[in-house]
Amino acid sequence: MRLARDAMDRDWSDPDLDLDAVAAHAGYSRHHFVRAFRAVYGETPGQYLSRRRIERAADLLRTANLSVTEICHLVGFSSLGSFCTRFKRQTGLPPGEYRSRHSGPAAAMVPGCHALLWAGGFPAMSDPQDRLRNFEEGD
């Protein structure tokens, strides 16, 4: 399980991160992997990945001069609506309000171009339905 979680921690921003590949990497079938992951970590792989992405988005909202849409894509979400819904569910605030409350004149904002270069730019977009299908089944 730790190998799988490490792989997800390493590749969390990849919107094409595939549940089948992560399960195979850990030596499990997809179905058994989801059950075992939940038993060990208390959440499904999809929930874990979503939480990690939202945590990173919150960090970027506090520190980077990027739009909410740019952050949404940078952390691996393909749908702004889905991102905003999950962000609010996890933090209690929509992304824009979160930024307003958690960054102020004292916050050192990283220019957006630097944050994008650090993250390797925007990942290539593939079929959003395929990506959703892979991890939503585990939610």
Q: Round to whole Å and give the CA distance between 25 and 76.
A: 20
- Flag whether 111 is in a domain: no
Q: Using alpha carbons only, what angle is made at residue 77 by residues 71 and 81, rounded to the nearest 5 degrees?
A: 90
Q: Round to whole Å and give the CA distance between 129 and 137.
A: 12
Give the per-residue pLDDT at 34: 95
Tell me the three state secondary structure of residue 129. helix
- Flag whether 62 is in a domain: yes
**Per-residue pLDDT tens over the stretch 14-61:** 888 888 888 988 899 999 999 999 999 999 999 999 999 999 999 999
Query: Helices 19-26 and 2-10: crossing angle, nearest 10°?
Result: 140
| 21: CATH | 1.10.10.60
Q: Which domain holds residue 77?
A: 1-104
**Per-residue pLDDT tens over the stretch 99-108:** 999 876 555 5
Number of domains forming the structure of the chain: 1
- Flag whether 15 is in a domain: yes
- Flag whether 21 is in a domain: yes
- pTM beyond 0.85: no
**Per-residue pLDDT tens over the stretch 76-124:** 998 999 999 999 999 999 999 999 998 765 555 555 555 555 555 555 5
Give the per-residue pLDDT at 115: 55
Q: Which helix (H) or strand (E) holds 111?
A: strand 110-111
- Flag whether 4 is in a domain: yes
